[in-house]
Structure 1
């Protein structure tokens, strides 16, 4: 079995230098780790990724000569070691000694003294080193700038909430049982949960739990889904018999929620055929079905049969800046130039899918972004170029003021950052 700190450093190296995602790297690494160390590996990986920019600054301040490019694994071992000393409730001697041992497991004997000296220096000079730290929020510069410009009064809180683990929130399958009935089952099994504030089928766990420990999970009684994501089905408010499209469906959480809400004719569309298989798996578990189509939603000729939809959910590809606390590698993988490219994709999807909507039908545009370029500004542009659209009021309390739609920001113990705009098509 692999040294857990070395495994964490290798994953961090692949994310930072190779641009790979945690969702791909972590599952592969867990197979080589002792079962009782797997949770610790996840903690190390998520934490050192979350604080990488600050950890990198600390390393540069403490290491006299930059570590050579071919030895970047040692740089990542230092980051993992510093994260333990700074943020984890781990015995300091164990954090230092085990990280030093990881240099030997990595066959980097030359780095043993460097890692030992650097970590012990942080142990001695912690307060002074942290006082000099410029990137305490540990966000990339381009995102810092955008967030400060967009939400100057909320910037500090956004950073703080994005750097803590989000709560584990569940969606109770209303076709199987009520939320109150599921909460009673959970309580009987010693699982402490409470009803969400905005979703009538949501429940937040006081402490995260393995999904298979949740009452009725295998039977489809409950699914993991943040409260903000649950709002999509509530706002679209589908009715029995309606023809509905989930335009960017994978991995299928919102598709499933829509199907649990009413008896509808559902088409779930996604450009990635592999990811569409996840939709199928999720629907099978909750005992629902839909027409699954692998195609680019913006290329209508490749998938649309010409019959219009009553309701469309466009949960558009976006920067993911509202869910960084769940996907900290977004800080490392996203670039400033991505926002313009994503905005163009969103614009095209909106324009094309609008053609597939019935007069009188409704389209919910949603993203897990907190950047106006992808949200209120996108809707403002759409309204300016389409005469057959009415922007409807969204029945949710906003976290911040926006000209169009509703913007939620990540909340402590509550929902993720999300944006919603409801559009109705009128006959011309």
Structure 2
């Protein structure tokens, strides 16, 4: 095995070939086949271990196979997994109450995936605009930010500025105005009498862990309050402990009108997402207007409840903050040595690779050979988002492997 080209034996090649043959090519996976995981480590089909610095885009904030989460899932698997919302189940109420309390909100609307949470937030904002604010029918608009990533449904990609997200998927839904990320004045200029919400990621993950200027979120909060529009925070990747706070909005002491949550909410076991807001906002949705067969299912609610209970202790937020500071200081030493820039928020980092040493994809492939898993984004950037259970010594080892492949 070399530092630049990971070896793939015959058995692994057969597994990859089968996937390539029978799975639609909507992803371009790195050449590793994972079969087991525990904590911050995964093992491939050949028995080789890798330190996971991706965490399934923050869905595995608590690591692989966390015993408390597995216990919650196993106990519920033996009792009841699905009823649909046609009936009540005994897990949904406790989960919703705990999550609402964590968010400081009245109500929770449970869904499955992050994109579903965003779509739900859009529908709620429009309904609120028509039924509460008094916007004329079909005139509602929502302000979004350049560089956003909120999912891949047709509505959402319609207000993306990524050509790959949009090409050949139109026509797209109207009603969105896009402005530069981090520019609060541009948001205010885009707001009209028909604007019902501002939808923003407090930190843009897919864009490369882009952190807005200090005070941006506070300014957006003030603008939304003064202009009478909802502030919707997409905390699907940034929330639930990742940035050293329960929510990325907490970094500026900002409380949005609507939280969009997902990924880590399912504990890395199953997809769970939710919209959280107060009754005067989320209460506009009436029976029959929105739903999901699996949304709020008892298995998801049992796991989600355990996730909330784990976050209530503050342990994971503290770990992310302290280890993130340690990670940032280590990554800064790479600037000028194959790295052109670093952005860090808690245990979440975007590392810009000098084109002279390779693309982000090439560096990610070389790191496989060193036992480290990361993922590239937008050509020259790699994202680092390890499980929050990782140790400081493991982070040090991972940064050293990055240093080695950059030098090579």
Same fold? TM cut 0.5: no
Higher relative contact order (CA 8 A, sep 6+): 2
TM-score range, shorter chain: 0.3 to 0.5
Structure with greater helix percent: 1
